[in-house]
Structure 1
Amino acid sequence: MTEPWRTGITTYDEKNIWVGGYAIGDLMQRATFAETIFLLHAGRLPSKEEGKLLDAILISSADHGPGSPSAATARLACSGNRGSVSSAIAAGILAIGDQHGGAGMECMEVIAEGVAIAKSEDLTLQEAAEKLVDNYRARGARVAGMGHRQHTSDPRKEVLFGMAESYGLAGDGVKFMLALEDAVAAKVKPLPINIDGVLAAILFDLGFPPLMGRLIFIIGRTAGLSAEVAEELAREKAMRIKVPVTYDGPAPRKLP
């Protein structure tokens, strides 16, 4: 006999749908989308402050212009296949990875490692951050969550960390990430905490596992990708192939 699939997320009958044990109608009337996302992934409804913070994280990840890898990929896929909105958005999501929007998961693992070092070796978070940076430098590895191609200071950092502090939700994750920023500046060079690092720190303090660092970016960015694809359909012609390209290969030559 085939074992049934198991889930603790959603169930239904002929007349009802329950998400996390709550009737869908009640959630529709009394919960926000961000609160429902929290419920889906944590199995509980968030506090008002936790819900606002997750909502802000989703907004911060929604869009960063058509030149970001996910948006550019979605628009290019839409340009070549205007009949499938879903494939264009899916293409954009597939462009999210370790270098673009996906480093939050790795950064949450870094935070967990640093906090564990501090506790196990009776170090301050600053001392643990400095030790971790030394370890990464010795391996020639880059610390996740640091540095941004467009920003010398990510404007989303102060807002999200400020909200976490004001709500009393900033814990070791936020503290360690700030310590890590100082340690990297002292031992490598000044690098701003990017959005991956910011959301990683807050999600760590909210009790989510590292995988959420990547998933929450995908959830938030999907909203932006839908807008990018809609704009591509509304404002641009199909087959936009005149992308700026500089050719530096061989000059025209005869086949021997």
Structure 2
Amino acid sequence: MVEAWRTGITTYDEKNIWIRGYEVGALMQRATFAETIFLLHAGRMPSQQEGKLLDAILISSADHGPGSPSAATARLACSGNRGSVSSAIAAGILAIGDQHGGAGMACMETIAEGVALAKTEGVSLEAAAEMLVDAYRARGERLAGMGHRQHSTDPRKAILFGMAESYGLAGDGVRFMLALEAAVAAKVKPLPINIDGVLAAILYDLGFPPIMGRLIFIIGRTAGLSAEVAEELAREKAMRIKVPVTYDGPPPRDLP
């Protein structure tokens, strides 16, 4: 006998669907999409402030132009296979990783490490941040959530951190990331907290596990990828993307 799958997320019968115990029709009429995402992942309905903050995070990560790795990959896949929007969007999602959009997971782990270090060593978050910067430099490792190719200051940081503060939801996660930014500027060079670092700090303070740092970016960016693919189909010809290539291999030669 095959053992049944187990889930604590969603169930249904012939006439009803329940998500985490809430009837889907009630959610459709009284909850937002962001609140439902919170419910799906946290197992509880968020407060009004938590729901607004998660909504803002999803908006902040929705799109960053067609040149971002995920959007460029989605457009390239769509250019060569215009019959499948799902494969193009999936290709864009597959481009999300440690260097693009997925660093929030590693950043949440760093935040947890820093907060724990402050407690075990009996030092401030600022001192713990300096200790971590020294440790990462000694190991030659890069700190996730820091630096941006286009922005000297990520315009989304002040808004999201400001919302978290005004809602009373900013905690050790936000404080540690700000301390880390200052420590990096003093010991290495000025590097802005990027969107991965911002959402990592806030998600940490909301009580989510590290994997949420990657999942939330994927959820938000999927909306932008669908728009990028739709525009590619509407405005561009098939196979229009041509990547300049310079060959620097051996010249033509004969087999021995």
* TM-score normalised by structure 2 residue count: 0.97
**Which residue matches 1:116?**
116
CA distance in 2: counterparts of 1:147 and 1:239, whole angstroms: 34
Deviation at 1:9, TM superposition (A): 0.4
CA distance in 2: counterparts of 1:223 and 1:114, whole angstroms: 33
**Which residue matches 2:155?**
155
Deviations 1:134-168 (A, max 9, x none): 10011011111000001000000000000000000
**Which residue matches 1:59?**
59
SS of the residue aligned with 2:45?
coil
**Which residue matches 1:47?**
47
**Which residue matches 1:249?**
248
CA distance in 2: counterparts of 1:101 and 1:209, whole angstroms: 17
How many aligned residue pairs are there? 255
Query: Which amino acid counterpart does residue 205 of structure 1 have in structure 2?
Result: D
CA distance in 2: counterparts of 1:140 and 1:67, whole angstroms: 29
Once the two structures are superposed, the pairs formed by residues 133-212 of structure 1 within 5 Å of their partners are 133-212=133-212
Deviations 1:205-253 (A, max 9, x none): 000000000000000000000000000000000012423x151425864
* TM-score normalised by structure 1 residue count: 0.97
| Amino-acid identity (%) | 84
SS of the residue aligned with 1:18?
strand
Once the two structures are superposed, the pairs formed by residues 14-53 of structure 1 within 5 Å of their partners are 14-53=14-53
**Which residue matches 2:87?**
87
Q: Structure 1 stretches (4+) deviating beyond 6 angstroms?
A: none
Query: Which amino acid counterpart does residue 199 of structure 2 have in structure 1?
Result: L
Deviation at 1:255, TM superposition (A): 3.7
Deviation at 1:2, TM superposition (A): 2.0
Unpaired runs of 5+ residues, structure 1, are: none
CA distance in 1: counterparts of 2:195 and 2:5, whole angstroms: 36
After superposition, the CA RMSD in angstroms is 1.1
Unpaired runs of 5+ residues, structure 2, are: none
CA distance in 2: counterparts of 1:94 and 1:186, whole angstroms: 35
Query: Which amino acid counterpart does residue 83 of structure 2 have in structure 1?
Result: G
